Homo-oligomer: A and B are copies of this chain.
Amino acid sequence: MAMDQKVNISVSLYLDTAGNLSKEIDSASKANCSSVTVPIVHWNYNREFVREPLRSKHGPFTRSDLLLSSTQWLNRVICRIGDNLDLDSPVDHIQRQAERTIRQEMSFAEHLVQNGYLYTKLSSTNCANFARTVGCTMFKGTLLVEVPITNPKLTQYGWRRDVAEDADATVESPWCWWNTFRCHADYNPTVKVALELTADVPKQEEIFRWLGEPVDAIVLPANIFLTNAKNYPVLSKAHQSMLNLFYRTFSCHFILKANPSDGHLAHYVDYIKYTIQHNYVKNPLHGYEDLLQIPLQPLYDNLDSFTYEVFEKDPVKYIYYQNAIEQALLDRVPEADRATATTIIMVVGGGRGPLVRAALNASQTTNCKVKVYVIEKNPNAIVTLTAHINELWRDRNVELISTDMREFNPPEKADILVSELLGSFGDNELSPECLDGAQKHLKDSGISIPCKSTSYINPCFGSKVFNQVRLLERSPHWKDRVISSRHMEQAYVAYQKNAYHIDNPQPLFEFVHPNRESDDPIDNNRYKTVRFRAALDCVMNGFTGYFDTVLYKDITLSIHPFTHTKGLASWFSMFIPLTDPVQLRKGDEITVHFWRCVASHKVWYEWSLSAPVVTHVHNIDGRGQPIWQ
């Protein structure tokens, strides 16, 4: 298939039993499957349930590891453990035997596949001992836990008139099984979900809830396929779109449960690959998904050349800025005066000059005479700006002032103050503090571009970001710990894909520039209480943060998911964690308190829940993350 080069899609064939393993791998391979998912236990070998420690007098309980090379075990086999074992049986001896047996299987499976895949199946919320025995192990590889996307009972109840109506309410979602399992297992990062699609398609919100989970594989049983006119297996539209959604989110692999003696096995596999490839859209931000980044502090740290370059490459941001400046110039300068009157534009935080460029372009397109003052504190950027002034802009009226905008005394007041000081959370790079300081250089009638910024939050769950923060938190490097051990009390920048957004975003803090209404000195402390609601039982481990900004009149930039500026690439959203994940019940109100605190040398956020549970106040006194002024 020509499209095969675009994306790498691997399908594993699920076998109930495997007689001759090499042969099975070969036949699966002929059906375009890259591996087989097989039970670790071979039915040829009778197992005796021996007590620990294992006695050497007992014979082997399964086939030898010499059957395959270690590379084959790793790449060609997904080892299934725990078939037909009930570790949570109320019958004591069944539970004990099951535990011993699965430990033996787990140990041998790890011996075989090393850092490859183990596979097991979850089928109930009653799984404390199962979770403890298999879920709490830190695997060298990955344990896939098979969970169906709808409860098998739902299908069954759907047919029975007596229970059909409230089947939804009484049948527990298998997501709850998984949630119980992984809570006992303490969010073990080596345990992931193999999500089995079912003939029933769950409600959209229930599908979305899986987007925050560590889904690694999608299991496709043959019975969810339809047969098209040409007798080929195909999926319904609903199944297709689920498949594509999960692939886009997780880049997952697939496990096909079909009859291995079905001569048309390859048709299933090819159809899966085709469906994914056909709908695949290249993502220019691929590679950044769910990676936590520490927010920039450009006021405190000087940005480096690489960072400037990344931001200057944004395909749309400076076009919007140019549009805003154009509009402001046209509004401000009567047509008759455009050739004579000089408009003073002050670019505060000039960087390597993109806003100067936008201002000069706007001057040209509107035929308005301008003088541009560019204020920059970073001595490294000054070098670039000086070069631009001497070469690129030598015929233009640009004056460079090398200082901190808060301390600067300009020769004249500005008509238009242009800045790009906003972070992913709006005010988190201290644009209010900077612009409050700079606004004294603005004429009373002057314009600030941007003139408003608003931050937004919504509660979310994302297992990848959670595991990253956890890893930092539990880092054994004591030196790290001493410097800042409160990784759960910091806001991160992250392009969140592996996320379930529990409710729609709501506005948090708003800042207006110039701020002439406020008392003097301007108080940029903020305190706001925001309420959300959970549509389903789910888990929350923090908030996703966004912002939008009005540059001028109706010219805005936004990373709010509902109003995101098309093509805007300069900002990822924010992730603001909670120290401990919070279990939510359907209908629960979530009440969160957010503070923006300002002291003489730093600014910081604090946050705390008061419903449905009360949490400690995060980042008190900025102990986890101060933003230095």
Contacts and interface: CB of A to CB of B under 8 A. Distances in A.
A147 to B, nearest CB: 16
A580 interface: yes
A309 interface: no
A617 B131 contact: yes
Contacts of A482: 476, 478
Each complex incorporates copies of this chain amounting to 2
Contacts of A527: 95-96, 129
A131 B606 CA distance: 12
Interface in A436-490: 476, 478, 481-482
A525 B96 contact: yes
A561 to B, nearest CB: 27
B478 A610 contact: no
Contact of A617 (B52, B185, B615): B185
Nearest to A183: B614
A546 to B, nearest CB: 23
B128 A583 contact: no
Interface stretch (A77-85, A160-168, A252-260, A592-600): A592-600
Interface string A189-229: 00000000000000000000000000000000000000000
A607 to B, nearest CB: 10
Interface in A148-198: 179-180, 183-187
A319 interface: no
A523 interface: yes
Q: Which of A136, A180, A613 has the most CB of B within 10 A?
A: A136
A186 B615 CA distance: 7
A616 B186 contact: yes
A390 interface: no
Interface string A34-66: 000000000000000001110000000000000
Contacts of A132: 593, 595, 606, 608, 617, 620
A75 interface: no
A481 B480 CA distance: 13
A593 B545 CA distance: 38
A613 B583 contact: yes
A529 interface: yes
Contacts of A187: 616
B128 A593 contact: yes
Contacts of A599: 52
A521 interface: yes
A136 B600 CA distance: 20
Nearest to A616: B186
Contacts of A136: 616-617, 620-621
Nearest to A187: B616
A519 to B, nearest CB: 8
Contact of A51 (B184, B185, B521, B614): B521
A469 to B, nearest CB: 16
Contacts of A614: 179-180, 183-184, 583
Contact of A183 (B129, B521, B525, B616): B616
Contacts of A580: 580
Nearest to A186: B616
Contact of A608 (B51, B128, B478): B128
A610 B186 contact: no
A128 B529 contact: yes
A615 B187 CA distance: 10
A178 to B, nearest CB: 11
A521 B50 CA distance: 11
A608 B608 CA distance: 26
A368 to B, nearest CB: 40
Contacts of A180: 610, 614
Contacts of A183: 613-616
Nearest to A127: B610
Contact of A600 (B53, B519, B608): B53
B53 A608 contact: no
A179 B616 CA distance: 11
Contacts of A519: 51
A14 B28 CA distance: 84
Contacts of A131: 617
A283 to B, nearest CB: 35
Given A128-B529, A478-B478, A617 B96 contact: no
13 contacts: A51-B523, A95-B527, A128-B610, A128-B617, A132-B617, A132-B620, A179-B614, A183-B616, A184-B610, A184-B614, A184-B617, A185-B616, A583-B614
Given A132-B593, A478-B482, A583-B614, 12 more contacts: A52-B600, A53-B600, A96-B527, A128-B608, A132-B608, A136-B616, A183-B614, A183-B615, A184-B617, A185-B616, A186-B616, A186-B617
What are the nearest 7 A-B pairs in CB distance? A186-B616, A478-B478, A183-B614, A128-B593, A136-B620, A132-B617, A180-B614
